[in-house]
């Protein structure tokens, strides 16, 4: 197995079986499509080391993100099953084996009020994360990030207070629900922590390193492929929406900060994966029911009370509804892929419908009149939780993965935070990252 990968280039490894096995029609396709389970990548090629012999294969995997790629060959128990590899006598040849190829990490450099992150491959600049999506620690104390700018292969973080010479600087990327870091293929970057930054503050020539390289690289590449479009903050109205020149197979669309109330013009964009409609005047979500490929949907700061159209969006992973008029959350019960749910500032009293969302990792319930928090104890995958001021206490002792427990109705205050990854502050009115 190779030591690491760069997030985009195909890498190869050698697969050896304990014995040869019969050649069958379509065996290569079985290895490509059925035998392996790959996380953060895809098997793209498979070839025999020796023609007409099946004992040794070279397998090529293309990563789909700058994340660790895990390749698993499950054990064969039934030789008639899809992907089974068996000897002539029917003896299974594939034990359960797993290998992981690490992603190349970012590098970091601190210089006074700026912290620069650099990657070996270009980033996608469609949307930048916010400052709260990063946690920067200077000599162990959290240092606020006030702004983030993206360059072609870099991100420059502006710090609320400058770093002094000799201070230790560590940075975490805690992830962003709607606007995560992405590579040029659109694959989102996984959260990471404890990246040590080289502190060049006060050193001769320090300013000419990563930051200078970012400036030489130039601005981030725009969405030249036409698969992404942003019309944020243009005060667009419903009539303007129908006239937008976008391709029908658009994947990402940002319409935040406008004056939209009718979404009928979006009904034909059935390939959309990400849609930001925050900060409009929406109440009717029915035109969204046909956008079944949506993964990310931001509806925060609108006038929404009826959620039932989102019940038709089975692939949703992120749903942000902060700052609306929602009282009934029954529509989300069957969204089993949901990982991030923002519900702050609504009218929700009953959270029982959330109990089946077992994939949920982030939940914001701040600013709701919840009377019983016991269903929250069933959400065993929760990593971040913001509570409302409810009657009774949430059974957080059952949430073994919880790392951030935020104070009721208080942005940026932490009741219980993991020592190794401190809580970040969130901007007013926003869901946690």
Q: What integer pLDDT is reported at residue 419 of this predicted model?
A: 31
Q: Measure Cα distances from 413 to 207, 366, 386 in Å.
A: 35, 12, 10
- At residue 416, does pLDDT exceed 60? no
**Boundary residue ending a domain (79, 103, 127):** 103
Asked whether residue 206 is assigned to any structural domain, the reply reads yes
Q: Does residue 135 share a domain with residue 81?
A: no
pLDDT in tens, 31-49: 666 677 888 788 888 888 8
Q: What integer pLDDT is reported at residue 289 of this predicted model?
A: 92
Using CB atoms within 10 Å of the CB of residue 228, give its burial: 0 to 12 exposed, 13 to 18 middle, 19+ buried. Answer: buried
Higher pLDDT, 352 or 215: 352
Q: Does residue 155 share a domain with residue 67?
A: no
Domain that holds residue 187: 107-217
Q: Does residue 144 share a domain with residue 127?
A: yes
Asked whether residue 61 is assigned to any structural domain, the reply reads yes
Asked whether residue 131 is assigned to any structural domain, the reply reads yes
Asked whether residue 346 is assigned to any structural domain, the reply reads no
Give the β-pairing of 69-73 and 37-39: antiparallel
> Which residue matches tokens 């080391």?
49
- At residue 413, does pLDDT exceed 60? no
pLDDT in tens, 144-195: 888 887 777 788 888 989 999 999 999 988 776 667 777 666 667 777 778 8
- At residue 425, does pLDDT exceed 50? no
Per-residue tokens: 169: 């600087």
Mean pLDDT across 57-80: 76
Asked whether residue 132 is assigned to any structural domain, the reply reads yes
Using CB atoms within 10 Å of the CB of residue 177, give its burial: 0 to 12 exposed, 13 to 18 middle, 19+ buried. Answer: buried
- At residue 233, does pLDDT exceed 90? no
**Boundary residue ending a domain (103, 134, 161):** 103
Q: What integer pLDDT is reported at residue 126 of this predicted model?
A: 64
Q: What integer pLDDT is reported at residue 373 of this predicted model?
A: 87
pLDDT in tens, 100-148: 666 666 889 999 888 988 887 777 666 677 777 888 889 988 888 888 8
> What is d(CA 422, CA 174) in angstroms, rounded to the nearest whole number?
10
Using CB atoms within 10 Å of the CB of residue 357, give its burial: 0 to 12 exposed, 13 to 18 middle, 19+ buried. Answer: buried
**Boundary residue ending a domain (66, 83, 103):** 103
Domain count for the chain: 2
**CA distance from start to end of the chain:** 34
Q: What integer pLDDT is reported at residue 31 of this predicted model?
A: 64
Q: Does residue 53 share a domain with residue 121?
A: no
- Residue 26 exposure: Cα atoms within 13 Å on the Cβ side: 7
Residue 307 pLDDT level (bands cut at 50, 70, 90): very high
Q: What integer pLDDT is reported at residue 76 of this predicted model?
A: 64
Q: What integer pLDDT is reported at residue 84 of this predicted model?
A: 64
Q: Does residue 122 share a domain with residue 49?
A: no
Q: How far is Cα of residue 180 from the mean position of the Cα atoms in its chain?
A: 6
Looking at 377-426, list the stretches that DSSP marks H as alpha helix, in order from N- to C-terminal side. Answer: none
Asked whether residue 418 is assigned to any structural domain, the reply reads no
Q: Does residue 113 share a domain with residue 96?
A: no
- At residue 372, does pLDDT exceed 80? yes
- 23: domain CATH number? 2.60.40
Please choose, from the candidates 261, 7, 263, the residue with its C-alpha nearest in 3D space to the C-alpha of residue 253: 263
pLDDT in tens, 317-331: 899 999 999 999 999
- At residue 351, does pLDDT exceed 50? yes
Q: How far is Cα of residue 235 from the mean position of the Cα atoms in its chain?
A: 29
Tell me the percentage of the chain whose pLDDT exceeds 90.
Answer: 23
Asked whether residue 403 is assigned to any structural domain, the reply reads no
Tell me the percentage of the chain whose pLDDT exceeds 70.
Answer: 73
Average pLDDT of the chain is 78
Q: What integer pLDDT is reported at residue 216 of this predicted model?
A: 57
Q: What integer pLDDT is reported at residue 424 of this predicted model?
A: 31
> What is d(CA 282, CA 298) in angstroms, rounded to the nearest whole number?
12
Q: What integer pLDDT is reported at residue 287 of this predicted model?
A: 93
- At residue 66, does pLDDT exceed 70? no
Q: What integer pLDDT is reported at residue 427 of this predicted model?
A: 31
Highest mean pLDDT out of 12-26, 40-54, 73-87, 374-388: 374-388
Q: HEC profile for 147-161? A: EEEEECCEEEEEECC
Residue 354 pLDDT level (bands cut at 50, 70, 90): very high
DSSP reduced 3-state for 406: strand
- 135: domain CATH number? 2.60.40.1220
Residue 80 pLDDT level (bands cut at 50, 70, 90): low
> What is d(CA 87, CA 17) in angstroms, rounded to the nearest whole number?
10
């Amino acid at each position: 197995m190779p030591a690491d990968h760069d997030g985009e280039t195909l890498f190869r490894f050698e697969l050896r079986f304990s014995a040869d096995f019969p050649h069958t029609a379509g065996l290569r396709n079985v290895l490509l499509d059925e035998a392996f389970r790959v996380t953060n990548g895809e098997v793209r090629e498979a070839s025999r080391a020796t023609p007409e012999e099946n004992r040794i294969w070279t397998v090529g995997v293309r990563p789909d993100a700058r994340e660790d790629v895990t390749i698993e060959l499950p054990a064969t128990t039934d030789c008639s099953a899809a992907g089974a590899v068996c000897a002539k006598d029917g003896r299974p040849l594939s034990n359960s084996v797993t290998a992981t190829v690490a992603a190349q990490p970012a590098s970091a450099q601190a210089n006074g009020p700026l912290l620069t992150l650099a990657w070996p491959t270009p980033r996608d600049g469609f949307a930048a994360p916010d400052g709260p999506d990063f946690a920067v620690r200077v000599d162990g104390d959290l240092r606020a990030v006030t702004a983030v700018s993206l360059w072609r292969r870099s991100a420059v973080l502006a710090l609320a207070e400058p770093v002094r010479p000799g201070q230790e600087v560590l940075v975490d990327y805690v992830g962003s629900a709607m606007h995560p870091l992405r590579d040029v293929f659109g694959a989102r970057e996984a959260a990471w922590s404890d990246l040590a930054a080289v502190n060049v503050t006060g050193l001769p020539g320090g300013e000419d390193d990563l930051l200078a390289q970012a400036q030489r690289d130039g601005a981030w590449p725009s969405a030249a492929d036409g698969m992404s479009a942003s019309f944020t903050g243009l005060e667009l109205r419903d009539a303007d929406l129908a006239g937008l020149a976008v391709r029908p197979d658009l994947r990402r669309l940002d319409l935040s900060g406008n004056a939209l109330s009718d979404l009928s013009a979006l009904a034909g964009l059935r390939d959309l994966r990400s849609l930001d409609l925050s900060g409009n005047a929406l109440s009717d979500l029915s035109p969204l029911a046909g956008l079944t490929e949506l993964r990310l949907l931001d509806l925060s700061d609108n006038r929404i009370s009826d959620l039932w159209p989102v019940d038709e969006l089975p692939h949703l992973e992120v749903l942000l509804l902060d700052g609306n008029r929602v009282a009934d959350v029954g529509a989300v019960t069957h969204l089993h892929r949901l990982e991030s749910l923002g519900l702050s500032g609504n009218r929700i009293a009953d959270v029982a419908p959330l109990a089946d969302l077992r994939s949920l990792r982030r939940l914001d319930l701040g600013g709701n009149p919840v009377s019983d928090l016991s269903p929250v104890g069933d959400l065993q995958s929760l990593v971040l939780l913001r509570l409302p001021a409810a009657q009774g206490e949430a059974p957080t002792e059952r949430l073994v993965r919880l790392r951030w427990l935020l104070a009721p109705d208080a942005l940026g205050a932490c009741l219980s935070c993991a020592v190794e990854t401190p809580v970040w502050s969130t901007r007013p009115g926003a869901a946690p990252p």
